Amino acid sequence: MKKKTVHVRKSVYDLSEKEIANLRKAFRRLYKNRIYQQKAGILIKDGHYMRNDMLFLPWARAYFADFEKALQDAVPNAKPVITLPYWDYTSETAREEGIPPLLADPYYKTKKKGKKKSNPFYRAEYEIPLYTFRNDAPNNTLLESAFISANKAMEADDFVTFGTEIYVADVQSHMYIGGSSANTNCTAYDPIFWFTHCQLDRFWDQWQKQPAREDLGAASMPNSVLNSSLQPFSNDEGTTLKTTDVLNTENLGYTYVD
Ligand SMILES: [Cu+2]
């Protein structure tokens, strides 16, 4: 495989004004050309791996890299290059303040003219004319539970235990967001999906980089997971990705710095 340029995925709390503007532009363009709906639909069509079998982490990693590529293609001249940001819903800020305004507010004001614009990260159209929606009053104790589940997962010695535990944190985040996010038929359409699942991928990456795992956790993965293909995702040469191709995020062109 050709070596990829590696870009850093950042926290939603650390994005610059310019990065936010480009990300908003990218989402808007994907909504308009319906690529967004097509990408979100992949989870419903091909995401059968997501039913808590051990392929859900590698499959999702390929899935989010594919979506990140769509964001990059939507605004090809963005500087820095667009990457998918993560929302760490187990962080102290998240547990205290809930969903950040960047993702939660229906509107935002433009910097220059102070014009009110609708926030592309607040909701998305999943079927004309239906929009995604969330819990009006999310229950913060669910984020506390997710925090506990994620910490427990980090202590796992093997991939299967880690995957089983981290899946619980993921479900808790869906229940917290509620509405469309808690419904398997449209969960990927709520724009927040991409930010919380980027975090899920980051949890895995952090677990993989623990000192005890020189091989990124491969030794503790069942062969059926390691050798499985991750349809419908392929590399730049058009070959279907396998789990072994996505163990190192740098092969997919991104990394997390912490
Ligand atoms: Cu999920």
Ligand 1 centroid to Cα of residue 116, in Å, is: 31
Q: What is the pLDDT of residue 252?
A: 97
Q: Are 120 and 191 in contact (CB under 8 A)?
A: yes
Q: Are 120 and 28 in contact (CB under 8 A)?
A: yes
Confidence class for position 52, pLDDT limits 50, 70, 90: very low
pLDDT (tens digit, 9 = 90+) per residue, 174-208? 999 999 998 888 889 999 999 999 999 999 999 99
Q: What is the pLDDT of residue 185?
A: 82
Contacts of 104 by beta carbon, 8 Å cutoff, 6+ apart: 98, 122
Tell me, which fold does domain 7-256 have in CATH? di-copper center containing domain from catechol oxidase (1.10.1280)
Ligand 1 centroid to Cα of residue 198, in Å, is: 10
Ligand 1 centroid to Cα of residue 111, in Å, is: 33
Ligand 1 centroid to Cα of residue 54, in Å, is: 14
Least confident span in 8-17, 102-111, 128-137: 128-137
Q: What is the pLDDT of residue 94?
A: 97
Ligand 1 centroid to Cα of residue 229, in Å, is: 20
Q: What is the pLDDT of residue 2?
A: 61
Ligand 1 centroid to Cα of residue 109, in Å, is: 30
67: helix, coil or strand?
A: helix
Question: Per-residue pLDDT for 37 more than 50?
Answer: yes
Q: What is the pLDDT of residue 258?
A: 76
pLDDT (tens digit, 9 = 90+) per residue, 96-130? 999 999 999 999 998 888 899 999 999 999 888 89
Ligand 1 centroid to Cα of residue 191, in Å, is: 12
Ligand 1 centroid to Cα of residue 57, in Å, is: 10
pLDDT (tens digit, 9 = 90+) per residue, 78-97? 999 999 999 999 999 999 99
Among 49-58, 65-74, 185-194, the range with the most confident prediction by mean pLDDT is: 65-74
For the chain, what are the domain ranges?
7-256
What burial class does residue 234 get, using C-beta atoms within 10 Å of its C-beta: 0-12 exposed, 13-18 middle, 19+ buried?
middle
Length of the chain: 258
pTM of the model: 0.95
Ligand 1 centroid to Cα of residue 210, in Å, is: 23
